Chain A
Amino acid sequence: MKNGMKIAIRMLIGAIIGFTVAHAAMEGSWQMDLQPLAYPVTLVLVAASVVSVLLTVYYYLKIRKSAGIELYGEDEDLAEGRMYRQYSDATLAGNLGMILGLAALSLIVIAGQSGWLALIAIAAMLVSVAMTFIMPGLMKKMYPERRFPSVSDKDYAEKLLAMSDDGEKHVMLGGLYKSFLSMNTLLFGAILLLLFYSVMSGTSQLVGIFTIAAIMAIANTQYLIHIRNK
């Protein structure tokens, strides 16, 4: 009964969205001027990028401090678990900082905005890139007994995967599989959104649509060929 209700609500929401979109398309009077939004959106993106990068640095310093403390018994386990989560948070913040910085920089260039915002966005991206090289060094402090490959090694990512044990691979596989499935759905949605935007605003988004379609085709082919040939 509960499931039936959920499906009914979803169908109702879908129908409302579908009707609204179709109605707007038939009217053909839909206009979208994003130019006035460019400056505030850039400010938000740059600020978010800077905050993300600062978070990475903060976690980096925190882990470095914690890694030097000697603990015993359950305290050691709790501290290790905390450091592991902080390392993941730092990596996520660094990646987000880079993505948001790039989005901000793109908007600044396209909308022809002020140079100082571009400088901040570039600085945030550079710090973020530097952190991706510095962070793996922390792993050696966190787990001195393990032999991690050097970041400068050829095939660093493959070597890191190879030295992970089965439990770590199990966790990675779960995360990667989920993100692969959601990435497919989200990119598919992005194509539909760009198509809708192109039709409604009269501004072609074909380059974006073809780029996303190519990324989806390559990623899916790579994944399925990997599975098929095992």
Chain B
Amino acid sequence: MKTRLKELRARHGINQTELAKRANISRQTVSLIEREEFMPSLLIAMKISRVFGEPIEEIFQFDEEELR
């Protein structure tokens, strides 16, 4: 899974701590997702998607292989 989280954060001018506060998750989780070491649950993905106002599939992208 690839993520555009870092890029979106930069575009919105917010740091990991601020994103964590707005999405009501921990900064550790934001960091793990950005490093692609953890695939977020649907709930966390929804929370992040609301913060940026972007659909989930625009933030988290899967390879065709992974979806098979």
Contact flag A167-B17 (CB < 8 Å), given A77-B27, A80-B27, A84-B28: no
Q: How far is the CB of B14 from chain A (nearest CB, A)?
A: 9
Contact of B17 among A76, A166, A168, A171 (CB under 8 A): A76
Q: Mark each residue of chain A from 167 to 211: 1 if its CB lies under 8 Å from any CB of chain B, else 0.
A: 110110000000000000000000000000000000000000000
Verify if A165 is at the interface (C-beta below 8 Å from B). yes
The reply to whether the CB of A145 lies closer than 8 angstroms to some CB of chain B is yes
Interface size class, chain A: 10 to 19
CB–CB B27/A165 < 8 A: no
- Nearest chain A residue, comparing its CB with the CB of B13: A73
Chain A interface (Cβ within 8 Å of chain B)? 72-74, 76-77, 80-81, 84, 143, 145, 164-168, 170-171
Q: Is the interface of A mostly helix, strand, loop or mixed?
A: helix
Query: Is B33's CB within 8 Å of the partner chain A?
Result: yes
Q: How far is the CA of A74 from the CA of B10 in the complex (A)?
A: 11
Interface residues in B, total, Cβ within 8 A:
19
- Nearest neighbor of A164 in chain B, beta-carbon distance: B26
Most buried by B among A73, A80, A167, A168: A167
Q: Are B15 and A166 in contact (CB-based, < 8 A)?
A: no
Give the chain B neighbours of A145 by CB distance below 8 A. Answer: 21
B16–A166 touching, CB < 8 Å: no
B44 interface residue, CB < 8 Å from A?
yes
Taking the closest CB of chain B, its distance from the CB of A96, in whole angstroms, is: 23
Assuming A77-B27, A80-B27, A145-B21, is B15 touching A167 (CB within 8 A)?
no
B49 at the interface (CB under 8 A from A): no
Nearest Cβ on chain A to B25's Cβ, whole angstroms? 5
Minimum distance in angstroms from B34 CB to a CB of chain A: 11
A167 near B16 (CB under 8 angstroms)? no
Asked if residues A170 and B17 are in contact (CB atoms below 8 Å), the reply is no
Q: A167–B33 contact, CB under 8 A?
A: yes
**Docked pose: A165 CA to B41 CA in angstroms:** 10
Whether the pair B15, A76 counts as a contact (CB closer than 8 A) is: yes
- A and B contact pairs by CB, cutoff 8 A, 15 listed: A73-B15, A76-B17, A76-B18, A77-B16, A80-B17, A145-B21, A165-B25, A165-B26, A166-B29, A166-B40, A166-B41, A167-B32, A167-B33, A167-B40, A168-B26
Q: Name the residue of chain B whose CB is nearest to the CB of A146.
A: B26
Instruction: Output the least CB separation between A83 and chain B (Å).
Output: 10
Which B residues between 1 and 37 are near A, CB-CB below 8 angstroms? 15-18, 21, 25-33
Query: In the docked arrangement, what's the CA distance between A165 and B20, Å?
Result: 11
- Pick from B15, B16, B18, B44: contact of A165, CB below 8 A: B44
Given contacts A77-B27, A80-B27, A165-B44, contact A170 B16 (CB under 8 A): no
Q: Given the complex, which residues of B lie within 8 Å of A164, measured CB to CB? A: 26
Contact present for A168 and B29 (CB under 8 Å): yes
